[in-house]
Structures are given as structure tokens and as C-alpha cells.
Amino acid sequence: MKKGLLIVISGASGTGKGTVCKELLARAPGIAYSISATSRAPRAGEEDGREYYFRTRAEFEAMIAAGEFLEYADVYGNYYGTPLRPIEERRTAGEDILLEIDTQGALNVMERCPDGTFIFLLPPSYEELRRRITGRGTDTAECIAERLAAARDEIRLGKRYRYAVMNDTVGDAVARIQTILAAERLRADRDLTQFDFDI
């Protein structure tokens, strides 16, 4: 059994991570989203291990203490986080896991999972980034300037990723990502064992 890929898709805000990830999953149904853990109560129809891993606050805090989270946050009194162990277990079972994560979170994942496939999404140009951030609506000029500066800082982090993919159109961006995944499946550290050599 070949270990599944950990596909980490990140990028500055305004680069369209969510749309690209959704389209990737639509085209490549073999890939599954990473499942977060939360301390909030399950809603009707939600199942542990499907929508979320549901944990009590005490359990969640024990997991924090044990260093089990790639990242976590306390949102209005409920914890949300990305636990590493289920990702590794699912990869060992051969599943490809997709993790959509902000740039800071991705740097943590690089340290904990150096064998991941790290893809940085870029807007096609600075002008287009400005247009997207401005186009969100009613923000003040000052607020927009701050967001642009923050986005530029984030884009500088892109050099630390293995791959950079321009999100000019969602279709082209997803096609580029699928090319990357096809190549990653040919990596020697995954593939030598599939041959029937006694090595």
C-alpha cells in the first residue's frame, strides 16, 4: 500500500483557496478533505469523524498539551483544530488528504510533515489582488491598504513552498495542481516499492 499524499494548499487571503480546493475535489474524487476536531457539540446529522472529530473541552486541551494539533484556535468559546494523527493514519491507509490552511498554519505543517506536497496559490498579478480585495465591498481605504500590505507579506512566504500555482482561472489552477499531484505520485520515495524488485 502506497502512502497517500498530504496536499497542503495555501496562499494569501484573496487568492481563492476555497474555490480552488472545492473544484479540485470535484475533479479528483479520490482526494478527501482533512477533518478538523472541535469541542462544540455535534449538530443533528453530524457524525464523529465525518464532519468533525467531536471532543470535550478537556479532551481537546489534553490534545493541545500533547502537541497533537498542527494548529488550533478558540472561536467564541469553542476549540477548532487540525489533529495530525488522523491525517497520518488515513495516509498510511492510502488516502490522499487535502488540507486548506492559511500561510502561518502551512509553515507549521512543513515542520511536522515535511513529506507533504506544499502548494502556494498566487493571484495573477498585484493589480488583480488589489481588485479582489477592494471588490469585497465597503471597507475603508485604510483597511484595504492594510489588507494589501498583509497579503504582500504573506506572498513573500511563498518561497518556502515547493510549488507556486497561479490562480488566474480556477480551471487552469486546478489543472496545474493535478499535474503536480501526478508528478508527486512518481516520487522515488513512494514508488520504488511498487516494483517487484527485491530491494
Contact, 134 vs 146, CB < 8 A? no
Verify binding: residue 16, a second copy, rule CB under 8 A. no
The three-state secondary structure class of 140 is: coil
**Interface residue with a second copy, options 78, 93, 115, 126 (CB under 8 A):** 126
Cα–Cα dist 125/52, whole Å: 36
Of 61-69, 88-96, 117-125, 132-140, the window that binds a second copy (rule: CB under 8 A) is 117-125
Cα–Cα dist 4/13, whole Å: 28
E strand or H helix that includes residue 58 = helix 57-65
Q: Which three cell numbers stand for residue 164?
A: 507556486
Number of residues that bind a second copy (CB under 8 A): 35
Query: Residues in the chain, how many?
Result: 199
Verify binding: residue 169, a second copy, rule CB under 8 A. no
Which amino acid is present at 180?
Answer: I
Verify binding: residue 47, a second copy, rule CB under 8 A. no
Contact, 120 vs 70, CB < 8 A? no
**Interface residue with a second copy, options 31, 91, 120, 147 (CB under 8 A):** 120
Cα–Cα dist 103/26, whole Å: 24
Instruction: Pick the closer one to a second copy by CB: 69 or 161.
Output: 161
Instruction: Pick the closer one to a second copy by CB: 57 or 187.
Output: 187
Of 44-52, 68-76, 100-108, 156-164, the window that binds a second copy (rule: CB under 8 A) is 156-164
Cα–Cα dist 199/190, whole Å: 13
**Interface residue with a second copy, options 32, 78, 152, 171 (CB under 8 A):** 152
Instruction: Give the contact letters, 178-197, x = binds to a second copy (CB under 8 A), - = no.
Output: -xx-xxx-xxxx-xx--xxx
Which residues of this protein are in contact with a second copy, per CB under 8 A? 120, 122, 124-127, 152, 155-156, 158-166, 176, 179-180, 182-184, 186-189, 191-192, 195-199
